Structure 1
Amino acid sequence: MNIKDIKTYFPVLNQEVNGHPLIYLDSAATSQKPIQVIEALKKYYEFDNSNVHRGVHTLGNRATDSYEGAREKVRKFINARSTKEIIFTRGTTTALNTVAAGYGRQTLQQGDEIVITYMEHHSNIIPWQQLAKEKGAVLKYIDLQEDGTISLDAVRAAITSKTKIVSIMYVSNVLGTINPIKDIAKIAHDNGAIIAVDAAQAAPHMKVDVQDLDCDFLAFSGHKMCAPTGIGVLYGKEALLDNMEPIEFGGEMIDFVGLYDSTWKELPWKFEGGTPIIAGAVGLGAAIDFLNEVGLDNIAAHEHKLAAYAMDEMEKIEGLKIFGPRDPMQRCGLVTFNLDDVHPHDVATVLDMNGIAVRAGHHCAQPLMKWLQVTATARASFYLYNDEADIDRLVAGLRSAKEYFNDVF
């Protein structure tokens, strides 16, 4: 599949917004869906719609095969050892909360340390804040370097023999920084801690190999990688998941229910209480097929190229400041910026009037905004369906916004 032809697979991109062809630069928030995923969902609902695992009729068997087939696709996608290590969730948020509540609650003691960074998404901050309060644990932050990267010396300074959990994002949704997860995992393990990885911004854009990283848990969302909303994945090492208690109880996850006690199914189903997200899993499986056909290495190379081009062109605009590492190989395909004293929401509004969709706000990263000494930023995020022409439109739109607000003020 030629990367140049990718746009033709995304019907939503073939439209005008405010009289201009749509330029979608908000994939870090949610990606668009290719026709292959849309058709897979349509086929499931038209022909296979049924609950899984419980029935013996044909539709139930077909739905179960598709659901469990998607689990195997996920296993291969991140190179997990077994499908027992693949838990379907509603998304990254649910997956990280499962680690905090299921592993952290039964493991942490008073005075133990949880280590995260200033760049974390709120989904990887608040569960640890709540757990620390509940258990009397200490929440610590790894210092960032001036360009928004992490030095391993800072990691070694933060992680101690008291550290029990390290939780860190693979790729920053604001700075674009790609963190050295494999090295951080080794430091964590050398100190007797486990590491959980927020891969929401990594899994869609680059190869993720959980065995090579040696992470203990890893979470990502389908909707950022061409799949439907409402489906995500928690990977966990089998031994850790085996020893964890489920945090949601009901149908599907039980083995035997008595009047006063119950037992759970084996992995992975003990963590999937209730009717699972069947159509979402089918869509995720189709999205993985699509991404594999394009090639994760091709996607990563394409985005590095776009990031370099975008930064080169955007830096030509006087008064525009870019946040995060300047080296495109140290970041994924997004550029977060501010323009003079213009509020990011105003910049995003002017761009939208020109058919260009970007994100503006704190990006669910308020501690990072405080570290950057700003209240908000604008963010253009790229994916496999973007090209240099999209960036040219963005730069032209930013120049128009700058001229407009210069005239107004």
Structure 2
Amino acid sequence: LAWAERFARALAPLRADAAPAEGAGYRPAAASLPAAARLLDELGLARATPASLMARWAAATDQGQGVGGRAEIVLGAGRRGPVGAELVQDGPHLLVEGPAGSGRTELLRSLAASLSAAARPDRLGLVLLDGAGGERGDGLAPCTELPHVSAHLVASDPLRMREFAQALGAELKRRHELLDGTAFAQWHAGREATGRMVAPRQPTPGELRGDLDPQRTGTLRLRASVPRTEPAAGPSPLPRLVVLVDDFDALVAPALGSTGRPAAGSVVRALEAVAREGTRLGVHLIATSARPDRTADTELARRSTLRVELDAPDQPGPGRGVLRYADGREVPFQAGRVTGRIPRTATLRPTVVPVEWDRMGDPPARRPVRELGNGPTDLALLASALDRASHLVSATPVLFPPAP
């Protein structure tokens, strides 16, 4: 109310220059994109806690997560709120293109984080692949702390690369045999209808007792101990799987002298099989490319109904891009950063922001936040909360390759 009164008093002395043309409606000025965005803010997880994550997972279950699952991604901030898509409905694959320094790797990390926040680790698994062989910093290594990540390959060891390609091919074959011609969602719906997907038994009040549970983090926490009369429930036999590939162009056309060059072809063939068959098998592919000319003839480029084009890193900075949907819609966005240091006391300092008159009608912008650089990253905080939440709901992470 105070903001509305100030705005009304600012309008009071103004008069229109001339009457508007007949039939011309009011067209508000479009809000500008922020210069930077924090992914956790766009996810509504400014303070990521196990309780807030479990609530998101429960809401996703109510919206169809149990029948084949969903794969929701949030890229960052748009002019009217968060910008994202859902791979099952809008996908199934996503290709991110942008020049060097445009923020491709950071966006891929944010996509891994948003996928993890949207689904339980026993219903959605992530497989990470650094196509440049670790030549550009940490790559996707910071994402390995997420409980949803079941494999991480750096394309520098030919032996491991061939093993990865064989494992991915074996996973596609296993899904073919399990589905037996049935669509992925229909297969899950049939299992749920026939009662073969049995929910774990809830403990009665008499069965609850305090028991120390040693966690991987070394912290002792109280948990509900239940006498087991049957084996613990494991992950779904057919969870959704998302393969995230950084520098896909470096695999398609590896540089001379690259240590992973001898086995790059086998990995590309496995990824191309995912692009062709993943739609009906519940496997999605998200990849980045710095050289669209090298990847234009791939199956991924032909079958990616979702495209992201990142701008050159000049102004206002890396992460600015456009999301293109299959129906022709184009939505500009500023990618949400997930490896920034958490804001602390900097948020309490007074901030002065210039406001131009043509932006007076826009909603109040978020206050700029400076990183102090002495705390954990948002990705590390989210991974810790996800790990605790997955233990609380007894969600066993997906195995890749699956155990025989």
Rg (Cα) greater in structure: 2
TM-score by length of 2: 0.30
Larger RCO (alpha carbons 8 Å, 6+ apart) = 2
Higher helix share: 1
TM-score by length of 1: 0.29
